[in-house]
Structure 1
């Protein structure tokens, strides 16, 4: 079992290079990058800068789109989503910090499609925890990690960004 801190900088460097390669391969011009609040937005800020994307960065707060909303209630830090332009017909770079079950990404896609129909959505994540409940797969992944049932992962930031693996009590 792993414990300790992972190198966020190395993971960011990897996803930055792979994202750049995917944009070139897919011949995407002027993508719209959107980070999922909170950790995905922090990662997206760094990628947006590294990739020199001209369109301003968007941020999604998927709180109202979660399928467990009625069970967990309203997050006291809910903030509005901020999309700098319409998503209709745009190539979207959707960024999250960790993909685990796929439910957060499903919620993000539901919200995105409420704003319009994108031309494509490329999913970018720092870590894949490989515990899928839904058939969702990232296009760009910094790394994969198998956590034990007594472990959790925490992204702290935004400056500096740190990933810590913790043992649950």
Structure 2
């Protein structure tokens, strides 16, 4: 794969997450009964950053959970060589029943990851609402899924790949497009 362009740098990511934080607060009229749930792996770090910004803005702590969707994926056999999925486990610190859950992920593409995440959430509890926040929406849906909060829409071709790098894992913050 060849790097084609950097579409979001560190400052642009910071601005996008600040905007999303404000939108979450505004849409939900505060953050009462809200919880952020990051989809492993990068969604968790984005959710934690959103929680920090929301706390700075509102002065209230919003719970953050981690969701592992491995066993809910519809492409499990395509993912692993030995057909044994690597399950990392979910950690949601509060009961999500009757809460507004904001699912957080790095890239929205086909919608299959989000569908899997919703299935996993429903097995944990019955939220009053599920909203979706993504850093990047690249299009190409296979399922009828739409994000409520989007950092940046980046139209891509099928031959391109979006790569999100986050400081917590990759030692830098940037979003790049790669040509396959």
TM-score by length of 1: 0.88
The 8 Å contact of residues 30 and 54 in structure 1, kept in 2 or not, is answered as no
The 8 Å contact of residues 139 and 156 in structure 2, kept in 1 or not, is answered as no
Q: CA deviation at 1:56?
A: 3.0
Give the match for residue 3 of structure 1: 5
Structure 2 regions of 5+ residues with no counterpart? none
Structure 1 regions of 5+ residues with no counterpart? none
Find the aligned partners of 1:56 and 1:119 in 2 and give their Cα distance. 16
Moved more, 31-40 or 148-157: 148-157
Find the aligned partners of 1:40 and 1:88 in 2 and give their Cα distance. 21
**Alpha-carbon deviations, 1:41-85, whole Å to 9, x = none?**
111010011112524310001111100012223454x31100101
Give the match for residue 40 of structure 2: 37
Find the aligned partners of 2:114 and 2:22 in 1 and give their Cα distance. 22
Give the match for residue 164 of structure 1: 176
Find the aligned partners of 1:120 and 1:157 in 2 and give their Cα distance. 28
Give the match for residue 68 of structure 1: 75
Moved more, 105-114 or 29-38: 29-38
Q: CA deviation at 1:98?
A: 1.0
Structure 2 counterparts to residues 7-156 of structure 1, below 5 A: 7-24=12-29, 29-52=32-55, 53-73=60-80, 74-76=84-86, 78-156=87-165
TM-score by length of 2: 0.83
SS in 2 for 1:3: strand
The 8 Å contact of residues 93 and 124 in structure 1, kept in 2 or not, is answered as yes
RMSD: 1.8
Find the aligned partners of 1:28 and 1:13 in 2 and give their Cα distance. 15
Find the aligned partners of 1:62 and 1:68 in 2 and give their Cα distance. 11
